[in-house]
Amino acid sequence: MEQRTIFITGAASGIGRATAILFHQKGWFIGGYDMDEAKLSELKLELESNIITGVLDVTDKTAFDVAMDNFSELTGGRLDIIFNNAGIAIGGRLDSIPFDKVIATVNVNLIGVLNGIHAAIPLLKGTDNSLCFSMSSSAATFGTAGMATYAATKYAVKGLTEALSVEFATFGSRAADVSPGIIDTALWQGKSYVEGQERKVTNMPKLNANRTDAGRTLGPEVVAQCVWDAYHSDTLHWYVPPELVDRERAKSASPEKLRDDSIAAQKPS
């Protein structure tokens, strides 16, 4: 197959869906995978052609291998981008969150990424200038209190990306990641815990809708454009919006200051 191809996890909504639509408009063949069969069907109906969809639990390595094999049969083994986008977020202090929810976050956000990358490696090796692109987060610029496990998985993704960017160069492939800030997606419709009791996550996109700084709310299509730009660049870490990199630099200059400022901010006035 001469047509370029992209395999997207978490493709049924939000950033994954926006990415599928953008790349389809650019003439790419889309592999869209998610747990939500109904929304996948809507995506396939909307795009009409040049797409394969499938229900996929990214924590199931065997299922991931099967999905990648099915994708490969249609693309002749070509994979220009794997976008490890699927993720979950459970809010709350670590001492308030049930441990099974902690492990579920690790399994989806980190183990799921490893499953995808490992399944994709043979195809990436066989495709010139291929890209392994993964979802990190602004929570990994400085560990975000109230999302400790989530932040840990996103830090892990950045470290994994850095290592693979060197390893994959041996066969002409690349690795990069993106750290989005407040993006208006279903991630903010998840769960949080206070003293072990389940509550709704604060709707940060709505709360930040009128901000104009790095904490402003952006649409998922902005991150989709970042995936496109990353394929045409050798930049390793991407930030959406770009000003988020300033927090990364502030941490490098003085992590203690960011820690102390964060502690002060959570104290009642």
Question: What is the pLDDT, as a whole number, of residue 268?
Answer: 64
How far apart are alpha carbons 199 and 92 in whole angstroms? 9
CA-based angle 22:123:41, to the nearest 5?
40
CATH of domain 5-244: 3.40.50.720
What are the residue ranges spanned by the domains of the chain? Answer: 5-244
Burial pattern 230-246, b for ≥16 Cβ within 10 A else e, equals: bbeeeeebbbbbeebbe
Catalytic residues: 150
Amino acid at 213: D
Find out whether 73 and 50 touch, Cβ atoms under 8 Å.
no
pLDDT block averages, 10 residues each, the chain of length 269: 95 98 98 97 96 98 98 98 96 94 97 98 98 96 93 98 98 98 85 82 85 92 98 98 94 93 80
